[in-house]
Structure 1
Amino acid sequence: MIILLLLIIPVITAIACVFIKTHSISKYVSIAGSFLVLLYSIFLNYNIYLHQSLYGLNEFFYMDALSILTTQIITIVGFAAALYSVGYMEEEVREGVVTEKKLRLYYFLFHMFIFSMLLVCVTNNLGIMWVAIEATTLSTTFLVGFYNKKQHQEAAWKYIVICTVGITLALFGVILTYYSSKSVFGEIGHMLNWTSLLTVADRFDPHLIKLAFIFILIGYGTKAGLAPMHTWLPDAHSQAPSPISALFSGVLLNCSLYGIIRYHIITSKCVGPHYSCTLLMVFGLISVIASIPFILVQRDYKRLFAYSSIEHIGFITLGIGFGGMYSVYGAELHTFNHAVAKSLLFFCAGNLFLKYKTRDMDSIKGVIKTTPVTGVFLIIAVFAITGTPPFGIFVSEFLVLADGFSSGNVFIIIFSSLLVVCITLIFIGFINNIFKMVLGEPTTSVPKGEVSKLTIASMGFLLIFVLVVSFYVPPFLREILTNIYNIVRNV
């Protein structure tokens, strides 16, 4: 029951937002519901932190250190996005872009999206995890096409078709895992429970498990934005409302990667770590390299941030694939750092769009003069996301690369060397593109001033996490990251 309550709160909030017809009330319900989920997740994660793991409903639910990190990211970014949504959507309503009736649908889908992502992280059953990841697609398709214009509908269709194909391939991986477990367990109810599978993974058919992991990596990797299955991501991120874009990049991609890591652990115990680690490194490096040309020549700032997400998910995947203590530790730290910094970037993007009415970077000048607070947030977020010292992403990238270069494995050292080159090129692309918008003289037609106090408050909330983790990693977070390494390496 203690875990179930984490799922009940966003569902109740979603339903309440539908039936409360007055926006002046529903917006506070949305914020309160998100804040309550955040507080309860902190309480829940503290209990798991003390006891290492937590079960619920006859082992249907299961949470450990890996769950703690992902659920905390969901609830932190979720609350910030709920707060930002109120200011952002009120501006859309004021301009006649969105009606108050449609706004109720937005809040409903928003909180059902939070619910489905939380379900991914708390379920012990790999079949239910598959259902939850598919549910994130269904709830967000309508959010991608929320404005009902041609480009939004095209992005929504592209999103649902590509991700549905991917999730179907992942289903084959789940079925093959089920078939392998059936030969060991027989006909019992918990044969797809991750904790049960892990105890007997070394008795599974290695050929079936290898094939299952390929399906899982391609299937869930499609939803995670790994190249070359990433083609839906730039369109969906650029056309969705900015709060949803933040949830896509900061949270949704991590949930899909969470599923891959769970299967990676089982595969490693069955056939050894070399097989799945190699696949993770290859797909991770392809993702990082594939993002570079689009970042260098990009003219749409939301698509720029979307391609950056592909790069960072690839980097995290590489860190997990390297397999060393500091690389896994750094990869999971990178997950948190990327989530808060990229969400902050998309909030900045939302403010820029409301102010300038365009996503074309060539049409935007003098951000620091037009919207000085947003301009400062944008500069900080860009330096943070590109791994500039002393920000947290620099620390996590340093840990992964240091572990890669010191591994003694020629293959990993080559990958690490390529990563350094890629990170440098991406830094150049970001600085060149963003600072052209930040500096210069603004056009006279753009009014000066910030869009909304609520949007600034939500950005300030995320900035706290960006700065705190940059200069000081709290002891409890360090222990959680260490525990995640122990889980990934099955120590």
Structure 2
Amino acid sequence: MVAFLSVAVPTATGVLALLIQRAWLREMIHLIGSIATTFIGFLLVWKVTLHGPMTSQNQFFHIDALSAVILAIISIVSLTTSLHSIGYIRHEQQEGLLNVRQTRQYYMLYHLFIATMVLVAVVNNMGLLWVSIEATTVVSAFLVAIYKKGEALEATWKYLMICSAGIAFALLGVIILYASSIAKLGSNNQVLNWTVLSNSHLVLQPDLVALSFVFIMVGFGTKVGLAPMHFWLPDAHSQAPSPVSALLSGVLLNCAMLGLIRFGIVAENTIHGQLIEHLFIGFGLLSVVVAFPFILVQKDFKRMLAFSTVEHMGIIAVALGIGGSLGYAAALLQMFNHSMGKSMLFLTAGNVNQKYKSKQMPRVFGVLRAMPFTGFVFLVGTLAITGVPPFNIFTSEFSIFVAGFRQGHAVTTSVLILFIAFIFAALMFHMMKMIFGEDVRERMTKGEVSRWTAIPLVLPLFFVVIFGLYMPASFTHLIHQASLVLAGGSRV
């Protein structure tokens, strides 16, 4: 029942937000629905951490430790962005960038987007997992196009065309996997269930499974934003409202990565070879390498953050390819840590954009003086996302490096470290001028745009700072449980 509510509550909230005319009541429903969604998400995480995997609604829902990690990310980031959305959307209305109808559409689509991402995490059937990921594309595309401007519409079409092509490849992979499954298990309505396919003793047809995973890697890799299928990502992230950019980068890509992981586990049970390892490391390392020159030459700071996301998705993919208990745990930790840091940065970017009325870095100087709190969070987020200690991403990236050398991937790990260092230098070059540079516009009023857009930043900031110094035992236990699922040692 709780799993059903995790999808039903945000869906109902979105429908109510569309129907309600009064702005204050719509914001109240939005806030209550967001808090309820977060509470249900954490309730599921708590139950899985204590009691192991849960299956309900005639095996329609299945929530294991992997699901719980994604649900934790969704719960934290969605609560942060929902609070931020109130101040952000109010300002956009005051500036005439959004009208009342667009605002109602925004809140409806926002909660439907959350519902589709939760469904990705909790659904049992692998075919419905594909449907859920495709649903996230459709709903989020309308959010990217919410301003209905030329650049936003262009970004939306690129997003739809590239991701739909990728998802079509993934569908072909699912069909091939289904063909292999029915040959082994017979035709029944549970043949694509994760609870069936994740059995480590199940051996399907190796050739079909290998072909299936190649298609799935390309298909879901497109949605993850792995190079060279990443071209939609910078446009969509830069044109979407900043709370949506935070959800796209911090949550959606991890949901797609979850799909990739689940299919990878099924394939590994049959293939037991290096194909999966080589695909993850190859696409991951290429993503990190490709991201560097684009970050170096960027002028739009939201596009720069988007290419940083390509880098981090690549780092996660490399960690998954490296494998081993430490590699898997580090990959999951990197997913969580990146979500906190990057969602925080996109929200601060939204604050800066509204204050300076520009996303162009040459026009933004002295953020720390003009917006003291946002500037401070911007600085911490920049240091964190580039892997500077003692922040949380340093912990996960260092663990990935250790795992790489331990597992015999010294060359791959060395190249990874080198390009992470290059990207660190490029990001610091751009961001330090924005944060500390001298603002030539003396008449700019000092202060935050809104308390609603400033205060929510405290939540991801907490995880960015504290998880770099200390991680609760319950969280490390959850990461360990999830890494066991990845290793095939236990479905907990």
TM-score, length-normalised on structure 2?
0.98
User: Secondary structure of the equivalent of 1:418?
Assistant: helix
Further displaced range: 286-295 or 440-449? 440-449
Give the 5 Å matches for 1:27-426: 27-199=27-199, 202-407=202-407, 409=408, 412-426=409-423
- Contact 2:249 2:339 (8 Å CA) reproduced: yes
Instruction: State the partner residue of 2:480.
Output: 482
- Contact 2:391 2:466 (8 Å CA) reproduced: no
| Counterpart residue type for residue 397 of structure 1 | E
Q: 2:432 aligns with which of 432, 435, 439?
A: 435
| Counterpart residue type for residue 471 of structure 2 | V
User: Secondary structure of the equivalent of 1:55?
Assistant: strand
* Distance change (3 Å), C-alpha of 1:270 and 1:201: farther
- CA shift, 1:273, in A, is 4.8
Distance 2:385 2:119 in 1: 28
- Contact 2:6 2:41 (8 Å CA) reproduced: yes
Once the two structures are superposed, what CA deviation does each residue of 1:297-355 show, in whole Å capped at 9, x if it has no partner?
21110001000000000000110110111111111101111001000000110001101
Once the two structures are superposed, what CA deviation does each residue of 1:149-181 show, in whole Å capped at 9, x if it has no partner?
111110000000000000010000110111011
| Counterpart residue type for residue 274 of structure 1 | Q
- CA shift, 1:441, in A, is 2.2
Once the two structures are superposed, what CA deviation does each residue of 1:174-212 show, in whole Å capped at 9, x if it has no partner?
101110110111121100101111227642110000010
- Contact 1:38 1:79 (8 Å CA) reproduced: yes
Distance 2:273 2:64 in 1: 21
- Contact 1:281 1:318 (8 Å CA) reproduced: yes
Once the two structures are superposed, what CA deviation does each residue of 1:85-122 show, in whole Å capped at 9, x if it has no partner?
00001001111111122101000000000000000010
- Contact 2:392 2:463 (8 Å CA) reproduced: no
Distance 1:440 1:316 in 2: 33
User: Secondary structure of the equivalent of 2:2?
Assistant: coil
Distance 1:337 1:157 in 2: 30
Distance 1:93 1:199 in 2: 52
Distance 1:138 1:177 in 2: 24
Matched, 1:466 2:445: no
Distance 1:50 1:440 in 2: 49
- CA shift, 1:12, in A, is 0.9
Distance 2:275 2:77 in 1: 34
Q: 2:444 aligns with which of 443, 446, 469?
A: 446
| Counterpart residue type for residue 233 of structure 1 | L
Distance 2:105 2:357 in 1: 24
User: Secondary structure of the equivalent of 2:55?
Assistant: strand
| Counterpart residue type for residue 128 of structure 1 | L
Gaps spanning 5+ residues in structure 2: where? none
Distance 1:457 1:372 in 2: 13
Distance 2:43 2:119 in 1: 17
Distance 1:239 1:440 in 2: 25
Distance 1:99 1:109 in 2: 15
User: Secondary structure of the equivalent of 1:203?
Assistant: coil
Further displaced range: 93-102 or 240-249? 93-102
| Counterpart residue type for residue 347 of structure 1 | L
- Contact 1:320 1:331 (8 Å CA) reproduced: yes
- Contact 1:21 1:101 (8 Å CA) reproduced: no
Further displaced range: 192-201 or 454-463? 192-201
Once the two structures are superposed, what CA deviation does each residue of 1:455-490 show, in whole Å capped at 9, x if it has no partner?
111111211121221111111111111111111111
- Contact 2:404 2:413 (8 Å CA) reproduced: yes
Distance 2:430 2:410 in 1: 31
Once the two structures are superposed, what CA deviation does each residue of 1:376-404 show, in whole Å capped at 9, x if it has no partner?
01000001111101111111011110111
- Contact 2:116 2:135 (8 Å CA) reproduced: yes
Gaps spanning 5+ residues in structure 1: where? none
Distance 1:368 1:40 in 2: 37
Distance 1:200 1:415 in 2: 28
Distance 1:300 1:50 in 2: 45
- Contact 1:2 1:56 (8 Å CA) reproduced: no
Distance 1:367 1:41 in 2: 35
Q: Alpha carbon RMSD of aligned pairs, Å?
A: 1.0
User: Secondary structure of the equivalent of 2:124?
Assistant: coil
TM-score, length-normalised on structure 1?
0.98
Distance 1:203 1:404 in 2: 28
- Contact 2:390 2:465 (8 Å CA) reproduced: no
Distance 2:241 2:45 in 1: 30
Matched, 1:455 2:465: no
Distance 1:198 1:13 in 2: 34
Once the two structures are superposed, what CA deviation does each residue of 1:225-255 show, in whole Å capped at 9, x if it has no partner?
0000000000000000000000000000000
Distance 2:283 2:248 in 1: 20
Distance 2:313 2:273 in 1: 20
Distance 2:443 2:350 in 1: 19
- Contact 1:159 1:236 (8 Å CA) reproduced: yes
| Counterpart residue type for residue 198 of structure 2 | L
